[in-house]
Amino acid sequence: MTSSVLDLAPVVPVVVLEDAADAVPLARALVAGGLPAIEVTLRTAAALDAIGAIAAEVPDAVVGAGTVISVRNVADTVAAGARFLVSPGWTDSLLDAMKTSGVPFLPGVSTTSEVVALLERGVTEMKFFPAEAAGGTAYLKALSAPLPQARFCPTGGISLASAPSYLTLPNVGCVGGSWMVPADAVAAKDWARVERLANEAAGLRG
């Protein structure tokens, strides 16, 4: 079982799949490039089938579910094979469901009060979203002194150029991004390009 999503790789690809048939070759390309943790977002009808296909056919991948916003999402994605959960935000009922899911999870936060509320509930690993819009590296740096026990996966607006500045922060375990899975590459089934971009991202923390 995954102990911490934050320690699997410096970058977690955030994947939106319109066609579940693309899931396995995409996941294989990402793993080959050095990014085993893959967040498949629940933004499309194909998401659950995609998670199930990756879980069944790409054993070296650690597939997770993103955009988890309801108790039903938690149940459905874990049943499909998700090995971690990521939410853009959280409520008490959603947090309770994630805590009892049996898999690691990253509830989303964008304010200091949300971080403190999660720490109060025993949660120390979180998604910081939307990272760039919510204050970026300056905000996370400011949180590190008063709240050193909180660790983050910033996601939202992060690029290959900006990722290194996040990864140098002591309270950042990894970043989430989609630049290594560009929509045109997925549409063209250009898995070699995805693998190349994943390899570049995997090398951000040498």
Q: Write out the catalytic residue numbers.
A: 39, 127
**Coil, strand or helix: which one is 86?**
strand
At 191, the amino acid letter reads W
DSSP characters over 150-202: -EEEEBSS--TTTHHHHHTSTTB--EEE-TTS-HHHHHTT-HHHHHHHHHHHH
β-bridge mates for residue 20, sequence order: none
Q: How many CB atoms lie within 10 A of CB 125?
A: 18
Percentages of the chain per state (helix, strand, coil), in multiples of 5 = 40, 15, 40
Among residues 83, 124, 126, the alpha carbon closest in space to that of 106 is found at 126
Burial (0-12, 13-18, 19+ Cβ within 10 Å), 70:
middle
